[in-house]
Each structure stands twice: as structure tokens, then as C-alpha cells.
């Protein structure tokens, strides 16, 4: 292979036929590296397909750092993200619109650990109250992003990745009315301890 052919095969450590994570869209595959002339300047572009969304994106190779494109997570990081799912949901007592924005930002950060937190916090088991439509949308969006990356890392199907995620979620603390009552009790005790500290 000539030097130029080799140079065209890899940019910033990224190469064709490699799966990557693009924060705003999740897992995609670099199918080609193209050169285009725009306003008299030659521009090199990654051609990335997002199969599930039936979408193709062209990203200038010089802009990857700016858009936050990254390689797939290492297997130990995937294990850590899956472990996050077994933790207790941390739901802030703020208005839903504000929490929704925070969840959306975590999903679009492209960070697998942050996405796992959204999946954990919005997960509802069968014996729990129904989610609102917007909660369900955000949960499914986070679940989809997480499953796609796990499937790409493990070389499994998305269905298998979802089963793995749900198995971890089932290991988490029981979620339901009892936990909400505990949260309220904790909130009250936090308030009284604040008064003691202030005294």
C-alpha cells in the first residue's frame, strides 16, 4: 500500500470500517474518507452511516475533536457503565422540564457512563407507576444509545445488549412506593441535620 493510500485510510486514529460514537447520534460506522472541494479549498471528510436511523453524515476530519466523536468504549468501561445500572436511582427534586433537559444533555454527551445514569434513573419495573410519555421517550432514547454501543463493543445484537442491560437493572434496589417514602424520610432528616449544623 502506498503512503498516500495509507494516509487516506486513517485520520486521528480513525479508519474506514470502524464503529465510532458521535455524541448527537450515537454509534455509527465510518464507511469512507472522501475529499471534496468547497469554496476552492480541499476538505477531507469522514462519511459516517447510522444504519438504524438510515442517515449518512459527512464530518470534516479536522472537526472530529470539536464534535466530540470518539472510539467505542473499552470493555472495562462498558462493565463499569453496566454496574451503574445496579445502583439506586438518583432523582433530583426539581421540575420535570429541568430534569428532562439534564437527561437530554447526558444522552447527547455521548458518554456511556452518563447515558447509563439516565437509563438507571428513568427505569421503571412492572410493579411501579407508569412513566409519562416524555419520561418514556427519554428512557428509550438512552436505552437505545447504550444498547447500540454495548452491542458494537461485544459484537452482539442490540436485542442481546438490551437483555444484558435489563438483567443489570433488575439487580438494582427495589423501586416503588416504599422507596419513595424512604426518600421523603431522608429529605426530612436532611433538613433537621441542617438546622443542627447551623445552630
Confidence label for 84 from pLDDT (cuts 50, 70 and 90) = very high
How far is it, in rounded angstroms, from Cα 69 to Cα 63? 9
pLDDT digits over 31-75, tens only? 999 998 888 888 999 999 998 888 999 999 988 888 899 999 999
- Cβ atoms within 10 A of the Cβ of 44, count? 15
pLDDT at 66: 87
What whole-number distance in Å separates Cα of residue 73 and Cα of residue 85?
17
CA–CA separation, 102 vs 96, rounded Å? 10
Q: What is the pLDDT of residues 90-123, one digit of tens each?
A: 888 889 999 999 999 999 999 999 999 999 999 9
Is the distance from CB of 60 to CB of 45 less than 8 angstroms?
A: yes
Confidence of residue 172 (pLDDT cuts 50, 70, 90): confident
Amino acid at each position: 500500500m502506498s503512503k498516500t493510500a495509507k494516509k487516506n485510510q486513517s485520520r486521528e486514529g480513525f479508519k474506514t470500517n470502524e464503529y465510532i460514537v458521535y455524541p448527537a447520534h450515537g454509534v455509527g460506522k465510518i464507511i469512507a474518507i472522501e475529499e471534496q472541494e468547497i469554496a476552492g479549498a480541499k476538505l477531507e471528510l469522514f462519511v459516517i452511516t447510522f444504519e438504524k436511523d438510515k442517515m449518512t453524515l459527512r464530518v470534516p476530519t479536522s472537526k472530529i475533536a470539536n464534535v466530540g466523536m470518539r472510539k467505542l468504549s473499552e470493555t472495562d468501561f462498558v462493565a463499569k457503565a453496566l454496574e451503574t445500572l445496579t445502583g439506586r436511582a438518583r432523582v433530583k427534586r426539581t421540575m420535570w422540564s429541568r430534569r428532562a433537559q439534564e437527561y437530554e444533555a447526558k444522552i447527547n454527551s455521548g458518554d456511556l457512563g452518563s447515558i447509563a445514569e439516565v437509563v438507571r434513573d428513568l427505569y421503571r419495573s412492572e410493579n411501579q407507576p407508569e412513566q409519562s410519555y416524555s419520561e418514556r421517550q427519554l428512557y428509550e432514547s438512552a436505552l437505545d444509545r447504550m444498547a447500540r454501543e454495548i452491542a458494537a463493543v461485544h459484537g452482539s445484537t442490540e436485542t442481546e445488549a438490551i437483555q444484558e442491560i435489563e438483567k443489570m437493572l433488575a439487580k438494582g434496589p427495589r423501586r416503588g412506593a416504599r422507596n419513595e417514602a424512604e426518600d421523603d424520610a431522608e429529605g426530612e432528616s436532611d433538613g433537621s441535620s441542617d438546622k443542627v449544623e447551623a445552630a
